[in-house]
Structures are given as C-alpha cells and as structure tokens.
Amino acid sequence: MPHVIIDYSRGAGDRVAMDALTAVVHRCIRDTGIVEPKAVRTLAREASFSCVGDEHPDNQFIQIIIRMAPGRPLEARQKLLKAVFEEARAAAAPALAEGRLGLRVDLYESDPTLALQESTLA
C-alpha cells in the first residue's frame, strides 16, 4: 500500500494524457520516501457514464484517491497529498487552462482490521 485510483469522467482522457498523468502520480508517491516504493499500485479508469456540475457536455473531472495504511504523521500525509496534487496539476495544466475541468486529490487511511492481503511482489 498505497493504492492509487485515478477516476476520470468520459472525455477527460481526450484532453489530458492519462498515461502520463498516471505515471507521474505513481512515481511521485513512490519516490517521496514516505512509503515503501514497491508497495505503490496505481490505476486509472474512465467512467463510461458521468455527470459533472450542470451537466454541460464539456465539463470533466479527474479524481485521484490515495488509500494507504495508517501510522504516518499528519505532516507526512499532507506533504504527499500536496506533491501528488502539484504533479497532477502540472500534467493537466493545458486542460485546466482551457477551463471546464475539475481536479481533486484525496488521501484516506485504510483500516487494517478490515483488510486482508497477500503479496509476492519483489
């Protein structure tokens, strides 16, 4: 852990290179020194159906959710959150400048008493 899920509304991938955004977010988290690098897992997925705001067809969003094990100080979590947001904002900068795009990053701590896991990743 952490697991990173990048959800984006239909059409956002036409305006933002999601492969590049996914890679920069993954590397940012991996390279912060806050988490075990081999534990980071990142995926991006487009919503087949989505509604954004007033449902104007040009409205789009990107939502990045970071789920990680508890135990890190608040300052470390905030540092990670800010770093991811800045990297994602840079990757989406042209589309953000055009308008009609929302970007959000959230970090949640997973409850280890409600999670099961097995991993053989090196």
Residue 44 lies in a domain: yes
Burial of 65 (0-12, 13-18, 19+ CB in 10 A): middle
In this predicted structure, what is the pLDDT of residue 110? 92
Domain containing 70 equals 3-111
Closest among 58, 42, 54, 44 to 95, alpha carbons compared: 58
Tell me whether residue 90 is in a domain.
Answer: yes
In this prediction, residue 112 carries a pLDDT of 85
pLDDT at residue 120 in the model: 81
CATH of the domain at 11: 3.30.429.10
Q: Which two tokens stand for residue 47?
A: 């919503």
Residue 118 lies in a domain: no
State how many domains the chain has. 1
Does 121 fall in a domain?
no
User: What integer pLDDT is reported at residue 122 of this predicted model?
Assistant: 67
92 found inside a domain: yes
Tell me, yes or no, whether 119 lies in a domain. no
> Which residue ranges of the chain lie beneath pLDDT 50?
none
**79 within domain boundaries:** yes
